[in-house]
Structure 1
Amino acid sequence: MGKIIAIANQKGGVGKTTTSVNLAASLGALEKKVLLIDADPQANASSGLGINVDSVEVGSYQLIEHSAAAEDCIIATNAPNVDIIPAHIDLVAIEIELVDKDEREYMLKKAIRHLKDSYDYILIDCAPSLGLLTLNALTAADSVIIPIQCEYFALEGLGKLLNTIKSVQRIHNEHLDIEGMLLTMYDARLRLSNQVVEEVQKHFSEMVFDTIIQRNVRLGEAPSFGESIINYDVSSKGATNYLSLAKEIIKKNG
């Protein structure tokens, strides 16, 4: 039975989508069957895996509002063993549309729970907010990965996210677990990067992944070609880091 992992942080620019795309591709490269659900209206995870977002007719919007079955929303990607439920800018409207629905926090969970038998891992790329979309992802997930960038305001807003996770555990999903905190955009030459790593490891020790994602030019280039770092440059530091993260997650869930 598969595991559903949400990748969430309400801060933008922390490497959430980069992690969603490249972790999915790395797990796929390690012969795991993966589904990536793009739950961010910006749809960057979709375009990052070669999907033409403008041509998406059914995707996460239709999935969450239950107007299409999950199976009809799934598209194969250019990454081996990785399927995606893509997003479209329409997804922006979902929060307003769900507001007066019964059990609105459970819409995604109901739509995807039967897919756990078909995949080893289902990853959800969350929007950079703590709105209804992210709440749906956390309610549907078994665990959450929190990317934290190695920069000055790294820990700002983390308390708010952890409080949201606690309230989801209390009200909607008692089994939600923190899969781990992932340090991203690390630059060994910067004192600040090293200070952030020390700080996060000191405060959250066991919850922090051993793998650290280093700042890497190739990692930044890959999405503009619609490819994961595994397809784009498997010998790059970025690919090595994400493969290492995938191995760590497989081992943890073994």
Structure 2
Amino acid sequence: MTKVIAVLNHKGGVGKTTTTVNLAAALQQKKKRVLAIDMDGQANLTESCGLSIEEERTVYGAMKGEYPLPLVGLSGGLTIVPSCLDLSAAESELINEPGRELILKGLIAKLPESRKFDYVLIDCPPSLGLLTLNALTAADYLIIPVQAQFLAMRGMTKIMNVIATVRERLNPGLAIGGIVITQFDRRKTLNKSVAELVKDSFCDKVFKTVIRDNVALAEAPIKGKNIFEYNKGCKGAEDYMSLAQEVLKLK
């Protein structure tokens, strides 16, 4: 059965796209069929995978009902639904559409049997608008990357309130898969303090895996590659493989 996972934090720069791309790649390394959907109008996931933001078919056209989700296969085995800059306009264009929060869920449900996936990962925009609501309504699990920096906890209460509302009104099955601490440097006292605060606040909701600060994770998207294609022996690859092991245990 397909597990749909939304990767969300409305604070920018916390590693949402990095986590989506590299967790998807790690799951694919584990012989899982994985689809990654770029729901961000900045199209960072699309470009990180070596695709152009000028792709003829994107999630934007699919959300507008012009065609099914466009599936683009990558040489490494991942499948991507690309985004484009026009996606940002979808918030206003779909505002009067009946059942607008359910559009993405319907698109995923209509994937042909021959293209069913073990995991669908959704890279959410850094906001809590309509596109994010679509992702949360479609998802079984939510993964929240939290940067090991000052103000990391800011906005977490708002995210939890949104999750509660979505559960109540749209998707009662939505569960928090886990919170993952990113950009962690154990040499920095502040990083360790933030990590301890997150763990104290959310206890068993925090993944044991911590994503260490690693330059290769920043370099890989420039080459249009995931971390396993770019440098499979680095700490970043090791950490995302460890995270994938934990995600595989989600029921």
Q: Same fold (TM over 0.5)?
A: yes
Kept in 2: contact 1:50–1:78 (CA 8 A):
no
In the comparison of the two structures, how many residue pairs are matched?
A: 249
1:237 and 1:79 map into 2 onto residues whose CA distance is: 20
2:160 and 2:234 map into 1 onto residues whose CA distance is: 33
The within-5 A match list for 1:85-96 is: 85-96=81-92
- State the match for 1:21 in structure 2: 21
- State the match for 1:76 in structure 2: 73
List alignment gaps of at least 5 residues for structure 2: none
- TM superposition outliers: structure 1 runs of 4+ over 6 Å: none
- State the match for 1:199 in structure 2: 197
Amino acid at match of 1:105: E
Q: Which stretch of the first structure deviates more once superposed, 205-214 or 61-70?
A: 61-70
C-alpha deviation, 1:30, in angstroms? 1.0
- State the match for 1:224 in structure 2: 222
C-alpha deviation, 1:116, in angstroms? 8.9
- State the match for 1:5 in structure 2: 5
Amino acid at match of 2:65: H
2:190 and 2:76 map into 1 onto residues whose CA distance is: 35
Kept in 2: contact 1:49–1:79 (CA 8 A):
no
Cα deviation, 1:50-86, whole Å, max 9, x if unaligned, reads 11222x111110121221112xx00002332x10000
List alignment gaps of at least 5 residues for structure 1: none
C-alpha deviation, 1:252, in angstroms? 2.8
Kept in 2: contact 1:2–1:116 (CA 8 A):
no
Kept in 2: contact 1:49–1:78 (CA 8 A):
no
- State the match for 2:206 in structure 1: 208
1:116 and 1:96 map into 2 onto residues whose CA distance is: 29
SS in 2 for 1:53: coil
Matching of residue 177 in structure 1 with residue 175 in structure 2 = yes
* Length-normalised TM-score, structure 2: 0.97
SS in 2 for 1:36: strand
Q: Percent identity?
A: 45
Q: Which stretch of the first structure deviates more once superposed, 60-69 or 13-22?
A: 60-69
Kept in 2: contact 1:51–1:77 (CA 8 A):
no
- State the match for 2:44 in structure 1: 44
Amino acid at match of 2:248: I
Kept in 2: contact 1:6–1:138 (CA 8 A):
yes
* Length-normalised TM-score, structure 1: 0.96
